[in-house]
Each structure stands twice: as structure tokens, then as C-alpha cells.
């Protein structure tokens, strides 16, 4: 029998943590011992792994003895504080938060795009999972970039509330229920009502007028594609539960026709082409939810420039945008690097 690995899920009670557990189960990850960690608030709660009960423990600096792989999704502050302890105890951390992504000694990995970067994990014992919006963007653009060399990316996102976690999912449910009864909607997670609305703010505003989410897409895309490509982003929250959508415009060095783009995307890893205007087939969050692929459609030439293309890209933000990507990294790690 092949080797089994001891895995800790940090933030096991959250939206992403729960999906990480499900991905480990679905993908038959060779788990030996499993450990669920969260805040003191959730300690003692009983969750399951492969049908057996697992008690949630409080995350402490001593949580990682004997752990081989630690999947983190409990917010950036916890990752900053606890990834170094986990790494010291010998665990490789795969971190979903933004804490380590731009650290030059931490690889930022999307398995379909830059799997070889994983080798850099030895420097700090940490591998960063990119922002959800960045992951689906680079999965769709990598084959086009390899063929035609992208010079500039203009992206606008339409992001689901699940990205913010469980409380935001509950907030949208609650607001819809209240409004249908003619009652006022409570806003606690977001600064304005999200039900039947769009919020052009994700994360806080920075000095340059962009939001944190927008600048993550700029910086992380460049780090993953290893270029100084021009990237500009507008990130918008929409009243969707699961699945981020993106309107993407690219300018390339070499000409790329719609047919060529379709051909490249048809055989691209992790991509499903859904692009048949005649039958009104295009990617939508209701179809992407629960899936691990990145869906691409609405491919058109940008007729306002010489070499330009428009596309529409949709993926499940909690799966490919977070949990699935992290478990895929763990799969490569045990196959190629850990002994």
C-alpha cells in the first residue's frame, strides 16, 4: 500500500475549510491522520471525515506535531502567525490567505499554469494559493499567452458572496428573505446591501484608488505568469452565491483569431470551452458551481485594436478558486517532492 499523509485543515469550520475536507474525500487523497483546527469558538464541534467523526481542536502553535501537510484557510492573520510554527514542526503549509503570496521565498501556484514553481516550497515550507479571481484568470489565459504573448490584460469581475465566507452567504440569504417580506435588510458583512445590488468594492481601498482585491489580481497574475504584463482590474461583488465571473480583454503581441483561441482552449488543462452563441451556450455561475473546471466562452476579437480578444471566464470560487487548487498542489507535492 502506498504511503499515507497526516493532514491538518486550519479553518475547518469555514466555507473554504469545509470544501477542502470535501475535496480530500472526493479526490481520494491518501490521508493517514486528519486534524481539524479552528478558533476556540469552534473547538469541540464534531465534523466528519470519510464518515468518521473528527473533533475540531483549537489552533495553537503546538497543533502541528506529526503533520505532513497543513491546509490553511482561516484568514491572513492566522496564516502569518501559524504557518511558520507549522513549517518548523515539519509540515508543508498550503495557504489560502493573502499573507504569503507576494513573498519572494514562497511559490504562488496554479497547477495547470506553473506547477514547477512548487519546488520553491523548501525555502519557507509554505506554498501560497492565489486569490480566487486570479486563479481562474490565469488558467484561461495561460494557453493564449504561450501562443500569442499577452501585452496587457483588462479584467472586470463579478464576484460571488461565498468568497467572503459563511457569514456573507448568510447575509445575502437573510437580505433576500427580508426584502421579499417588505422588511428592511440588515447589512453587517458588507458596507451596503448586496441583495439586488452590485458593489464596486471588494476588500479595502488603497492609496491609488484601487481595492486590495484589484491589486491582488495585478500583482499575483504577474508573479504566476512571470512577466511584467500590464494588468488593470475592477472587482465587483454581485448577488450570486457561488461562482465568480470575469469579463477579460487581452492585447497580444501576435495575432490570435477566435478560431485559434477556441482550439487552444479546447485542449487546455483545467478549461472547458462553452462558446456556442447559436445555442446560447456560454459560461454561467449556476453551471460552474460545484465544478472544478474553469469555463470560457463569449470569445470575440476586440475590433478596436490590432491584436485583441474578449472573453468571459467563470469558475467556482470556493472549489477551483480555493480548495481544489490547494488539494491539487498537495497532490503534486506528495507525488513529486515529499518522501
In the complex, the smallest distance separating the C-beta of residue 238 from ligand 25A, rounded to whole angstroms, is 15
β-pairing, 31-38 with 52-58?
Answer: parallel
| 157 contributes a contact to ligand L14 by CB under 6 A | no
* Alpha-carbon distance values, 66 to 13, 44, 154, 277, 306 (Å): 22, 21, 45, 53, 57
Q: Would residue 244 show up in a list of annotated catalytic residues for this protein? A: yes
202 touches, from ligand 25A, ligand L14, none (C-beta below 5 to 8 Å by class): ligand L14
- HSE toward the beta carbon, residue 102, CA cutoff 13 A: 10
Count other C-beta atoms under 10 Å from residue 229's C-beta. 18
* Active-site hit among 132, 173, 187, 198: 132
Site string for ligand L14, 118-137 (x = CB under 6 A): -------------xx-----
d(CA 107, CA 100): 9
74 or 231: CB nearest ligand 25A: 74
Beta bridge partners of 158: 236, 245
Which one, 91 or 261, has the nearer CB to ligand 25A?
A: 91
Task: Report residue 304: phi and psi, to 5°.
Answer: -90, -10
* Residue number, 97 or 252, with CB nearest to ligand 25A: 97
Least separation, in Å, of the C-beta of 132 and ligand 25A?
A: 5
Q: Active site residue: 23, 93, 145, 244, which one?
A: 244
Find the binder of ligand L14 among 106, 141, 202, 309 (CB under 6 A): 202
Query: Cα separation of 309 and 302, whole Å?
Result: 5
- What the block records as the C-alpha cell of 108 is 504562488
Q: Does residue 216 touch ligand L14 according to CB under 6 A?
A: yes
159 binds, among ligand 25A, ligand L14, none (CB under 5 to 8 A by kind): ligand L14
Q: Does 308 bind ligand L14 (CB under 6 A)?
A: no
Residues lying near ligand 25A in the complex (CB under 6 A)? 11-17, 38-39, 41-42, 59, 73-76, 78, 96-98, 132, 163, 165-167, 321-322
Is residue 132 part of the annotated active site? The answer reads yes
Choose the binding region for ligand L14 from 4-12, 159-167, 246-254, 294-302 (rule: CB under 6 A). 159-167
| Residue number, 236 or 248, with CB nearest to ligand L14 | 236
| Phi, psi for residue 15 in degrees, rounded to 5 | -60, -45
Contact with ligand L14 (CB under 6 A) among 157, 164, 211, 324: 164
- Out of ligand L14, ligand 25A, none, what residue 63 binds, judged by CB under 5 to 8 A for its kind, is none
Q: What is the C-alpha separation between 310 and 298, in angstroms, rounded?
A: 7
Label each residue of 121-175 as H, E or C: HHCCCEEECCCHHHHHHHHHHHHHHHHHCEEEEEEEEEECHHHHCHHHHHHHHHH
Q: Which ranges constitute the DSSP H helices of 153-251? A: 166-180, 212-225
CB-CB contact of 121 with 337 (8 Å)? yes
Q: List residues with catalytic annotation.
A: 132, 244
Which residue ranges make up the site for ligand L14 (CB under 6 A)?
98, 131-132, 159, 163-164, 202-203, 213, 216
Amino acid at each position: 500500500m502506498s504511503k499515507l499523509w497526516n493532514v491538518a485543515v486550519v479553518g475547518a469550520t469555514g466555507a473554504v475549510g469545509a470544501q477542502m475536507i470535501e475535496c480530500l474525500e472526493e479526490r481520494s487523497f491518501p490521508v493517514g491522520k486528519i486534524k481539524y483546527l479552528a478558533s476556540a469558538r469552534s473547538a469541540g464541534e464534531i465534523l466528519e471525515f470519510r464518515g468518521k467523526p473528527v473533533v475540531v481542536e483549537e489552533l495553537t502553535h503546538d497543533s502541528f506535531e506529526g503533520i505532513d501537510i497543513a491546509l490553511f484557510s482561516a484568514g491572513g492573520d492566522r496564516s502569518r502567525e501559524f504557518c511558520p510554527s507549522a513549517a518548523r514542526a515539519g509540515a508543508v503549509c498550503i495557504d489560502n490567505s493573502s499573507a504569503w503570496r507576494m513573498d519572494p521565498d514562497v511559490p504562488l501556484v496554479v497547477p495547470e499554469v506553473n506547477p514547477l514553481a512548487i519546488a520553491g516550497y523548501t525555502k519557507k515550507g509554505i506554498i501560497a494559493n492565489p486569490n480566487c479571481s486570479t486563479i481562474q484568470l490565469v488558467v484561461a489565459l495561460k494557453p493564449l499567452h504561450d501562443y500569442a504573448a499577452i501585452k496587457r490584460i483588462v479584467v472586470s469581475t463579478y464576484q460571488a458572496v461565498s468568497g467572503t465566507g459563511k457569514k456573507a452567504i448568510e447575509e445575502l440569504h437573510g437580505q433576500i428573505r427580508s426584502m421579499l417580506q417588505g422588511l428592511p435588510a440588515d447589512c453587517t458583512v458588507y458596507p451596503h446591501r448586496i441583495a439586488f445590488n452590485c458593489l464596486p468594492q471588494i476588500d479595502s481601498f488603497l492609496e491609488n484608488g484601487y481595492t486590495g482585491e484589484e491589486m491582488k489580481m495585478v500583482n499575483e497574475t504577474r508573479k504566476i505568469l512571470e512577466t511584467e504584463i500590464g494588468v488593470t482590474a475592477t472587482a465587483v461583488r454581485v448577488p450570486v452565491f457561488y461562482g465568480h465571473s470575469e469579463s477579460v480583454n487581452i492585447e497580444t503581441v501576435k495575432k490570435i483569431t477566435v478560431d485559434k483561441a477556441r482550439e487552444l482552449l479546447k485542449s487546455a488543462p483545467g478549461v472547458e470551452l462553452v462558446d456556442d452563441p447559436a445555442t446560447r451556450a456560454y459560461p454561467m455561475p449556476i453551471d460552474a458551481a460545484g465544478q472544478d473546471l474553469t469555463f470560457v466562452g463569449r470569445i470575440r476579437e476586440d475590433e478596436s485594436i490590432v491584436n485583441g480578444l474578449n472573453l468571459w471566464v467563470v469558475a467556482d470560487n470556493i472549489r477551483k478558486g480555493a480548495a481544489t487548487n490547494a488539494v491539487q498542489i498537495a497532490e503534486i507535492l506528495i507525488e513529486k517532492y515529499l518522501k
